[in-house]
Structure 1
Amino acid sequence: MKIYVLKTEQAIPITLDEAWEFFSSPLNLAKITPVDMSFVVTSDQTTSTKVYAGMIITYKIAPLLGIKMDWMTEITHVVEKQYFVDEQRFGPYALWHHQHHFKEIAGGVIMNDILHYAIPYGVIGRLSNSVFVGNKVKQIFAFREKAIERMFGVYKG
């Protein structure tokens, strides 16, 4: 199985408290996901709107050709206002391990994402990653960066 890694970094002109408040709520994921993916959280988030270790989050998502599929992740690690990790338990990937890190800086927060993922189906999966999936993952993160800038502004440093 081939494991792919995507790392992103974004400076955001908000406080660490504001960053944690927004990004640690699964209900805000749809706000930073491309509309064409039809992303909807389907799990009940009334007991807790903040991530905690062991939290299971289910979604409906249409990553390809508008075909809807189920996706389930578990929040496996949380250190408040520092980082959290979500891992796929059911869904389109053979592996999905996504770290979200936050660090206070002058005038804002640096958010680092480290994503490790793998595609099932061996050679066919590797080919699909090089032709489509890898670019789609990068597009999702690029969209997210622009959505965050629209919502919170551009960090001026």
Structure 2
Amino acid sequence: MKIYKIERTQQLPISLDEAWSFFSSAGNLSRITPPWMKFEVTGELPEHMYPGMIATYHLQPVLGITLSWMTEITHVEENKMFVDEQRHGPFRFWHHQHHFKEVENGVEMTDIVHYALPFSKVGRIAHRLNIRKKLEEIFRYRHQKVEEMFKGR
């Protein structure tokens, strides 16, 4: 199984508490997901994240095909980090770490995603041709959207 990695760091001019409050709320995920993905939360979400929390979504990542995605929050260290892992969805493996660190002018947020695709060789070809680009596009959109949302605070 080939494991891929994406790592992105972004600085935000907000407090650690504000960053944690926004990003640890799974309900805000749709606000920072590209509209073309037609991302929709399908289950109820609690007010506060906790280890073992399950979140379910529908999305259309490519060709208008609707997919179901289920993630579990596996680790939570308040105001520091949390991890979501795919339990059902388009990837063979998905492990997404969200780290938060207070810095001089606000908060440094780092995403680290390790993922693998199904279908072995076909998955590798699809990754090279399209999937890596789509994931990069999603993270670029998120970076831009978050910057717009918290600009001038």
Shorter chain as normaliser: what TM range?
over 0.9
Structure 2 unaligned spans of 5+: none
Measured after TM superposition, the shift of residue 94 of structure 1 is 0.2
Measured after TM superposition, the shift of residue 135 of structure 1 is 0.6
CA distance in 2, matches of 1:50, 1:133: 31
Match of 1:69, as an amino acid? L
- Would you say the 8 A contact 1:12–1:154 is kept in 2? no
CA distance in 2, matches of 1:8, 1:111: 8
Give the alignment partner of residue 99 of structure 1, picking from 92, 97, 105: 97
Measured after TM superposition, the shift of residue 33 of structure 1 is 0.3
> Residue 2 of structure 2 aligns with which residue?
2
Q: Could you say what secondary structure the match of 1:63 adopts?
A: coil
Identity of aligned residues (%): 52
CA distance in 2, matches of 1:131, 1:2: 16
CA distance in 2, matches of 1:69, 1:49: 25
Measured after TM superposition, the shift of residue 38 of structure 1 is 0.4
CA distance in 2, matches of 1:129, 1:152: 32
Q: TM-score normalised to the size of structure 2? A: 0.98
Match of 2:62, as an amino acid? L
Spell out structure 1 runs of 4+ moving beyond 4 A: none
Match of 2:9, as an amino acid? E
Structure 1 unaligned spans of 5+: none
Match of 2:33, as an amino acid? T
CA distance in 2, matches of 1:35, 1:143: 10
CA distance in 1, matches of 2:86, 2:47: 19
Q: TM-score normalised to the size of structure 1? A: 0.95
Match of 1:28, as an amino acid? N
**Aligned runs of 1:127-142 on 2, under 5 Å?**
127-142=125-140
Deviations 1:17-41, CA, capped at 9 Å, x for gaps: 0000000000000010000000011
Q: Could you say what secondary structure the match of 2:5 adopts?
A: strand
Deviations 1:48-73, CA, capped at 9 Å, x for gaps: 22211000000001001111110000
Measured after TM superposition, the shift of residue 154 of structure 1 is 7.0
CA distance in 2, matches of 1:141, 1:148: 10
Q: Could you say what secondary structure the match of 2:107 adopts?
A: strand
> Residue 79 of structure 1 aligns with which residue?
77
> Residue 37 of structure 1 aligns with which residue?
37
CA distance in 2, matches of 1:66, 1:49: 31
CA distance in 2, matches of 1:91, 1:13: 34
CA distance in 1, matches of 2:47, 2:68: 20
Task: Report how many aligned residue pairs link the two structures.
Answer: 153
RMSD: 1.1
Measured after TM superposition, the shift of residue 74 of structure 1 is 0.2
**Aligned runs of 1:1-157 on 2, under 5 Å?**
1-45=1-45, 48-153=46-151
